[in-house]
Amino acid sequence: MGYLHEGHLSLVQEARRRADVVVASIYVNPTQFSATEDFGVYPNSRAEDRRRLEEAGVGATFEPATLYATGRSSGASGDHANVVGMGAPAAGAHETWVEVTRLQTGLCGGSRPHFFRGVATVVAKLFNIVEPDVAVFGRKDYQQWRVLTRMARDLDFAVEVVGLPLVREPDGLAMSSRNALLDSNARKRALSISESLRWAEEACSRGEAPGVQVLRQGVADRISAAGGRVDYVEVVDADELVPVEELDARPVLVAVAAFFGSVRLMDNLELQGS
């Protein structure tokens, strides 16, 4: 979605290792935002993004003005209200959606019920247009990676979906384009997210075997104490994303989303199991 950082460039590097030609899309997809979310203020640095992608060896960028037909009765092309498509579509407007029905519920799908339908639909369109052999995503957006992997399998897309590790700032904050929307005070307070996950990791690695509830509450309390508004803290099976009751040999994900001011940030911790 642009406003590139080192997390994005790690995807480019891996794509270059795996393919002769790398295509990067830059597109802020309106259908994954609700009318009250930050579509209108999503950070943008298009010229700088192109420069960094070229320097990183990307062969082409794909930067569509819009990917959705808006229909006869709609306003300007690409108008958000006309394409988000939660209500009845206007005649001639886009009306086809991809849903990954179980994996898209819970975690981000709980608080953003429109989100994965928009993501799965736009990525299906990108796959059809670009026809990649390999598509590289980040595990910062862990559920998104799982949803898109399942979509590619279920709809027989001839593409290998790869998920790469989360890249952090030197102080631990998960890299995200939305970090640019934080003021310096919120930026400091937002560090509580990664610090709380480090606490959880250390508690597990010391063999304290904290219960799942203790882990969730400990993470949530640390974020709240720093002034964050917790959207969710969940401990889920790393493959199917269903909540686990206890920590055992199964790999699990501790997944977090929290608001600092109006900025929603995500982070997660992958635990390999005992």
Ligand X SMILES: Nc1ncnc2c1ncn2[C@@H]1O[C@H](COP(=O)(O)OP(=O)(O)OP(=O)(O)O)[C@@H](O)[C@H]1O
Ligand Y SMILES: CC(C)(CO)[C@@H](O)C(=O)[O-]
Catalytic residues: 8
Q: Is 200 exposed, middle or buried (0-12, 13-18, 19+ CB in 10 A)?
A: buried
Please report, as residue ranges, which positions from 126 to 155 form the binding site for ligand X (by CB under 6 A): 137-138, 140-141
* Interatomic CA distance for residues 183 and 10, integer angstroms: 26
167 lies in the site for ligand X, by CB under 6 A: yes
Please report, as residue ranges, which positions from 177 to 236 form the binding site for ligand X (by CB under 6 A): 177-178
Nearest 5°: the CA angle 188, 209, 175 is 25
Q: How far is the CB of 32 from ligand Y (least distance, A)?
A: 6
268 lies in the site for ligand X, by CB under 6 A: no
* Interatomic CA distance for residues 259 and 230, integer angstroms: 6
Please report, as residue ranges, which positions from 11 to 50 form the binding site for ligand Y (by CB under 6 A): 29, 32
User: Residue number with the shortest CB distance to ligand BAL?
Assistant: 141
* Interatomic CA distance for residues 255 and 174, integer angstroms: 12
**Binds 189, which of ligand X, ligand BAL, ligand Y, none (CB < 5 to 8 A, cut-off by type)?**
none
Nearer to ligand Y, 123 or 175 (CB): 123
Residue 110 gets the label, from left (phi > 0), alpha (psi -120 to 50) or beta, of: alpha
Nearer to ligand BAL, 140 or 216 (CB): 140
Name which of 183, 176, 184, 181 is nearest 256 in CA terms. Answer: 176
Residues within the interface to ligand Y (CB under 6 A) = 1, 29, 32, 119, 122-123, 141, 144
